[in-house]
Chains A and B, each alone.
Chain A
């Protein structure tokens, strides 16, 4: 039973436009959420995080939004660049830094 779901397996966006990647979760105990980016043949790399005490966190072109009542978070990338083409995973945990559950990933393709 998937506790963290990324329902869009793939997404294509034009360079310069906004990319929105979505993630839903079912466990109301989750309080910490991460986004990772993964290139082929490499390990995932950390992008941005958010905890349940906030509804938004920004880091440069990346913004994560959290809607706890809907059990939904999203990652916005503005503007999208070809180098952003990768697989993006969201992850959630009830305890900070500990035992994160990952979603299935969304493959983003940014078209030049």
Chain B
């Protein structure tokens, strides 16, 4: 996992509540990513960051926002969670090489 941690690892929440997922890396990687994994869809990119305070949208960004105030932390926020956001969320980090290192994932259930 190359020093990528995610918190929480599991969360159950109710529709309409805000949720923040945290990704922390210890290897000073420049790029960080948030993906969601759903059956039949594989891994879909939500948002990514190419530096502190530099972020951009991925394939499925609606309903999500991100922030990166420090190199090591990348936060994903669901402002008002919906049932369609029930998923497994993966954070990844990498540099200018081929490899992205993934965290262990966060399983989010929105009731």
Chain A residues with CB under 8 Å of chain B are 6, 32, 34, 36, 41-46, 49, 89, 91, 96-105
Contacts and interface: CB of A to CB of B under 8 A. Distances in A.
Contact of A103 (B42, B48, B50, B99): B42
Contacts of A101: 45, 59
Contacts of B59: 101
Interface of B: 1, 4, 31, 33, 35, 40-45, 48, 50, 58-59, 90, 92, 94-105
B105 A98 contact: no
Interface of B is mostly: strand
A105 B38 CA distance: 11
Contacts of A102: 35, 42-45
A96 B104 contact: no
A91 to B, nearest CB: 8
B80 to A, nearest CB: 27
